[in-house]
Amino acid sequence: MKLILALMISFLATLAGAATISSEGSPTLREALAEVQGLLPSGYLDRVSGAVTVRELALNTDVHFRTEDLCQIEEGVEFGYARRRSITISKRLIELAATNTRTFSCGHRTFRKMLLAVLIHEITHVKDNAERISTDPDFQRIVGMKRVQSNSRRAVMNRNAATSADPYEFKNLAESLAVNAEYVVLDPEFECRKPATARFLSRRLSVPLRGECRKSYRVLSQSAFPEDNYSVSVSIDPSRIYQVHYLFAGQGQSIMSRWGHAMFRLVICAPERTRVGPECLDDVSHHLALTYRANVTDPNLNYARGVFGGYPSQLFIMRYLEVQQEYTKLDLRDIFSVPLRLSRTELAEFVDVTLERYWTYQGRYYFIDNNCATEAAKHLAIALPDAQSRLIGSITPLKIYNDIIRHSAELSDGSLRGLDRDQLRQRGILVESMFPRLNETYQYLKPHMPSFSESSLQRFLRKTSAVDRLRDYEAFAGAVQELSSALRKEAALRLSFFERYLAGRFMQELPRRAMEKVERDDALRRELSNLGEGLRLLTLQPWEVVDARYGAPTEEEVESQFTRFLEARRTQVRTSTERQLSQLQSILEKPHFEAELAEIEALRKTRKLTSDLIIQVNQ
């Protein structure tokens, strides 16, 4: 009877196709394999047919594997490999797992753990060969592929070794899956450090997440202004987020901005709110913008380098209001903020992708096929169910916007089709650029100012100088008594508004213009690099501010390291501001910046003149 039962069980097992794993080799290997089988979910190899064998062998690269230090192993040393259903493990690794009991600071920390990891890695390759998990579109989007494809041997775009537990994961999709499987099974912190990858692996490999670590939702808000960059940490805890919006900046003037810019907006509720609801839409100063940009520390954005992928593509997290001002005021572009329809689970997944991308991702920026829009589409698609993500099939920011509007019943909060600009504005979707108001002012002032000779405002903005305008304003102030009092007041108010805008615009563009000159002049660049903190702050990466063991930092890592960073930054800024100013002045006094200095001087005079004029016409 027992025999029949045993036969039946083994017959059923064959039907299910479950593979058995057997090993030949030393007791160390057999024990490790038994432990790994206990760690992996039962049925891990159910879809592999036939027996899987594990053996130990002195590998060719074992001769280069002499070190006893886990963190000093030469590149290129192999620990094992899988060929179809047969797995081979390095004899040297097994030997070290048995004899070396030290704990190290890198990777899996002990040789014993590393042996377990290598077994999990190779068994996962066997599973992947049968199930094709590494080519799952969501996995490709999470690890960051240029284009979703069916070849698991293609290289991964992310190259950010600084935040990787094992940069071998970047070799290709198959290795990426195998390396990450090691960590999701063995490291309880993995789900906090790579939450999006952990979610995916848990689902596809049936590995339960443990919930033992404290995930940190803190990110460091970035800014184009050195004094604001990394000056505060903000929480993107999904329980405090009312909505996620697709944020689209319309077409602008320069080559790079002609097709618009694709971003996201996190509608985060102010801390004093007890309820997360539509009222949080008013808490704009707490909202954040997520924006994929080419990280160009060299501000001379070079078109050819962009096309051929010379720039890293990164996710930046900035204050929504700064981004809104940048587009509507400086670039004079409309922005559209369209709510996305996400369930609370999808929203939490969206935040996990955000955390992982922010702390670990550096892809390559290609203007054509890996740009802000394709990055945004991939980011969103990970969180959305397949049927919905298929509705967004476009690779330009404008087309993504159109896709969302067209399918707004499925992707947004009800139908948005056919709304005109007024309706879009009333619903808070459109924030108009400052262009109409400025242009009207420009056309109004034009007849009175000889240097306002361009017919279009854009051309005027590119060419105008404060030196020219000052001449016009002086003449105007001299002749102002000839105008009627109503006209005088109106003109003075408009002039002051217009001039304030132009001065602000000049000051905002000054650092970029200065950097452009610096790029062309080696001596100047050397001087400026001595200038220190302010500019260096702009080129810092989040993972240089808070250096996690790998992936996203935990609560403890953020707390201790960011506090230290802020303290150092405060004293540095305080002690060096004086010195920097005098250095900056000496650099600005060089002949290269004659035009800028003259401009700043003229701006000072125009400001005095316009405010005097206001007083004068009101007397």
Interface with Zn ion (CB under 5 A): 175, 178
Q: How many CB atoms lie within 10 A of CB 113?
A: 19
Listed in sequence order, the residues at least 6 apart from 227 whose beta carbon sits closer than 8 Å to its beta carbon are: 534, 573
Q: How far is the CB of 125 from Zn ion (least distance, A)?
A: 6
Nearer to Zn ion, 182 or 349 (CB): 182
Nearer Cβ to Zn ion, position 120 or 545? 120
Three-class SS state of 486: helix
Task: Give 141's strand partners.
Answer: none
Partnered with residue 364 across adjacent β-strands are 312
**How far is C-alpha 18 from the chain's CA centre?**
41
Instruction: Provide, rounded to whole angstroms, the least separation between the CB of residue 177 and Zn ion.
Output: 9
In whole angstroms, how close is the CB of 81 to Zn ion at the nearest point?
Answer: 7
179/502 with CB nearer Zn ion? 179
Closest approach of Zn ion to the CB of residue 161, in Å: 17
Residue placing its CB nearer to Zn ion in the complex, 124 or 374? 124
Least spacing, CB of residue 193 vs Zn ion, in Å: 21
Nearest approach, Cβ of residue 564 and Zn ion (Å): 38
| Nearest of 163, 207, 193 to residue 312 by alpha carbon | 163
Please give the radius of gyration of the chain, using alpha carbons only, rounded to the nearest integer.
30
Give the angle 39-40-42 at the CA atoms, nearest 5°: 115
For residues 14 and 51, the answer to whether their CB atoms sit within 8 Å is: no
Residue with smaller CB distance to Zn ion, 65 or 217: 65
Helix (H) or strand (E) holding 595: helix 594-618
Beta strands in 27-99 (DSSP E): 52-57, 80-83, 86-90
| Number of neighbours of residue 510 by Cβ within 10 angstroms | 15
Nearest CB to Zn ion, comparing residues 178 and 518: 178
CB of 123 to Zn ion, least distance (A): 11
Cα atoms in the 13 Å half-sphere on the side-chain side of 242: 22
> Which of 238, 266, 262 has the alpha carbon at shortest distance from 370?
262
- Nearer residue to Zn ion within complex by CB, 168 or 225: 168
The minimum distance between CB 84 and Zn ion, in angstroms, equals: 14
Distance separating alpha carbons of residues 256 and 89, to the nearest angstrom: 51
To Zn ion, the closest distance from the beta carbon of 90 in angstroms equals 13
Residues 50 and 17: their CA atoms lie apart, in Å, by 7
Q: Nearest-CB residue to Zn ion? A: 178
Q: How far is the CB of 171 from Zn ion (least distance, A)?
A: 8
Residues in the chain: 619
Of the pair 152, 337, the CB lying nearest Zn ion is at 152
Nearer to Zn ion, 87 or 491 (CB): 87
> Which stretches of 310-385 are DSSP H helices?
320-325, 344-360, 372-383
CB of 95 to Zn ion, least distance (A): 21
Of the candidates 145, 137, 138, 182, the one whose C-alpha atom is nearest the C-alpha of residue 164 is: 182
Considering the complex, what minimum distance in angstroms separates the CB of residue 121 from Zn ion? 6
Q: Is 7 exposed, middle or buried (0-12, 13-18, 19+ CB in 10 A)?
A: exposed
Closer Cβ to Zn ion, 36 or 457, answer by number: 36
**Closest to 53 (Cα-Cα) out of 121, 128, 111, 122:** 122
Question: With helix as H, strand as E and coil as C, how does 161-211 read?
Answer: HHHCCCHHHHCCHHHHHHHHHHHHHHCCCHHHHCHHHHHHHHHHHCCCCCC
Query: By three-state DSSP, how is residue 291 classified?
Result: strand
Of the candidates 126, 110, 92, 119, the one whose C-alpha atom is nearest the C-alpha of residue 31 is 119
Closer of 171 and 273 to Zn ion (Cβ): 171
Q: What is the smallest separation between the CB atom of 62 and Zn ion, expressed in angstroms? A: 17
Of residues 45 and 178, the one with the C-beta less far from Zn ion? 178
- Residue whose CB is less far from Zn ion, 84 or 390: 84
Helical ranges in 464-593 per DSSP H: 466-479, 485-519, 522-531, 533-539, 542-545, 555-588
Q: What single letter denotes the amino acid at residue 540? A: L
CA 34 to chain centre: 41
Q: Minimal CA–CA distance to 205: which of 83, 39, 86?
A: 39
Q: How far is the CB of 63 from Zn ion (least distance, A)?
A: 20
Question: Cβ closer to Zn ion: 175 or 346?
Answer: 175
Structure tokens at 158: 């992310």
What tokens were used for 244? 């996620």
